[in-house]
Structure 1
Amino acid sequence: MTALQRLRADVDAGRVEEVVLALPDLAGRLQGTRLSARHFLDSTVTDGFGACTYLLTTDVDMAVTARSGELDPEGTGFGDMVLAPDLATLRPLPWDPGTVLVLADARHPDGGPVQVAPRQVLRAQVEALAGHGLVPYAGVELEFRVFTESYAQAHAAGWARLTPATRTGVDYALVGLERMDALTRRLRRETAAAGLVLESARGECAPGQYEIVFRYDRALAAADAAAFYRTAARQVAAQEGMALTFMPKYDDAEGNSCHLHVSLRGADGTPVLAGDGAHGESALLRRVLAGQLACLRELTLLFAPTVNAYKRLRPGAFAPTSVAWGPDNRLAALRLVGSGASLRLEHRVPGGDADPYLALAGVLLAARHGIEEDPPLPAPVRGAPGPGAAALPASLGEAADALDGSAVARKGLGDAVVDALVAAARAEEAGYAGTVSEWERARGFERR
């Protein structure tokens, strides 16, 4: 039975009443609309659903910032694009009975794909690798911090001085998680009921920090699952009267990461990264690693898209600060992990605010650059990279400049995608530069 046939049966039996049609946006969120299940079946499945083009140009305040040559809502009168449902992404929402969610692809009125839509950005990289006979797989490891206040209470408090759900860091702890047990238990069970395949779950380094890991999948499916999970986590937290955040750096404690585990297989499903190299790697994997390192500075904006992301990428924050790789080295930006068929690349730069589609697209583009151009592979590092290693961009503005001037990104992603991401980054940086912070008031109100 196909997904469409199952949905029709569920609607006819009264088990499904509404469909949430959701579009992944440039801020890493799912945006969309609720539809009557009957209307979805009668109309949306075949015709799609009209939605304003500005959804792929806005920041989290819904201000248009990511203009590009492809999408300029203000210049074109805020017209519509078409949200075309991908029924392969249909999932029930156990915390919202009678409702299912379907992800959408953004299309122009003539039927062509909107190139800046994150799903399309990643799909284009998957298709490009298919031209080399390769299929990318990925696992996405997202961390979040949990606080005992509700979102409404957190907002009233200005998002500051909130109470972590554990008194201390709980990395691998089996006790001390009591205040967030109900929330994390629901997340584990209800995401599994929605079709995600749980692998592990545990407390993390910072107070109130937690990580749930789902099984790897083909790259686009893995990104779909990660986007769905981030939305699910916030909705379940709200129902539990608590607040959680994926922001990379909430306070001085360890930040939230979004580590990406990426591997490649042949078209027949055979793993291709293992070989007879010094670390069990194949010649192909050496090219992939070299491509990551060659492109890392230029593509950092895809992994760290906000001002806050660069407060995680600081010395002593257990996050990378330089361009380096090493076998089983968590202090390097790129960690080689596993062996044999499980050998894979772990990309440790992305933070919890990274758009999973764009971040994975960056990894795959860099892999393709390595395969096609064969740049030299620097020696691996043991422990912390030395002072000779090239530094990652230290700010959002520096990362935006690097992407803007990247010939690899403009050729591999397209000018429209690069221009949109750079414009969004520069708008965020300008907004931050004009904002007076608590730090400034505490430092200068009385003593200067």
Structure 2
Amino acid sequence: MVMELKERNNHFIFSGCDTVKLAQEYGTPLYVISEDIIQERCKEIREAFLDKYSNTKAAYASKAFLTLAMCKIIDREGLGLDVVSGGELYTAIKAGFPTEKIMFHGNNKSWEELEMAVKNDVGRIIVDNLYELEILGEIAKQHQKKVKVLFRVTPGIQGQTHEYIITGQKDSKFGMPLETQKIYEVVEEVMASEYIELTGFHFHLGSQLFENDIYIGAIHVMIQLAQELKEKLGFILTELNTGGGFGIRYTDHDKPKPLHFFTGAIMETVKEQCDKYHLDMPTVIIEPGRWIVGEAGITLYTMGAIKEIPNIRIYASIDGGLPDNPRPALYRAKYDAIVANKTNEAPSMTATIAGKCCESGDILIWDLKIPKIEAGDTLAVLSTGAYNFSMASNYNKLPKPAVVLVKEGKAEVIVERESYENLLDREIVPEYLKK
């Protein structure tokens, strides 16, 4: 676990900051992101992967958490950026992120998104399907540019995780299935193109994975494909993007592995298979997102109504819930939490943490063991750095929380809290309804 539980005066201290004071100063719900932990994770990527092996790259999967400030941090730490939409690409461009270090993913990129990528010289476009390849070719020709691409393929490997976050199986909305003859035809077509340069392949097996055997299996499939393409078409694999998905700790049931558990197996297998087929080692790319930012984030809430149903359950309601963290409702995701202003107090009750939305499914944590609580207490939910801010909504017309970046005891707002006025900024009343 990257984050060690620290306290001061019975208050939970996160990245040197008193979380109770953060809640008082900035209000709740409040996303808190630790730059210290992000830096620690990026350092581990450099030491266990980038500096240890030649011809390697790492790109932060920005869908996990992306702001202008996060772009600046990732650039400073020497990583590339993986984006999946025009909005994420626009954010990176506005932040001044080097576009040659951007990889553009997505299973249904629009003409406008692809044109933005081509015009801004994005480093790699990860082509998901033949329709995308066709329109990308037209755009590249229109702008007289040669675009470097990787093909996303589904190697037919399935990881052990929630069914909604597995992506490497044959039956997937992502990537091209490995039907050998079709792949031959597409590769041959691209090799003849003036405007598209195929550098290699990308696969992603899923998220929140704790074993490395599926990466090994996928690499076996991919290097064998590379050997067949070289033999039949003369295609030389120069880049292999193995995706991300490395698991993190949400609760004590999760047993995350260090990065080298995955990267060591990946690199050893690529080398072994390339030696077997007499191929040159390609550049190997990883795309950790959740692994970098997940445990670097917490969310602070204020406790409100506490409802006891005798002999059944105690519901402790917070001032947020489903709109700022939809993952429990979507994936049955589990979280751990502490009462931030009672860090030293032993658990004396069990309560279910309920959100404030008008939904029975708005339950953040079932049966949490905590000290005796009361309205006004501060609850800190751990490991919310990934896919919480990114997936936040305005359901029930709730404004989105602020985001605070903390580092060595100092805090800075990097996303302002939405106001009620912000909720109506883009709404228009037709003239006939004004009468």
TM-score, normalised to structure 1's length?
Answer: 0.24
Higher radius of gyration, 1 or 2:
2
Higher relative contact order (CA 8 A, sep 6+): 2
TM-score by length of 2: 0.25
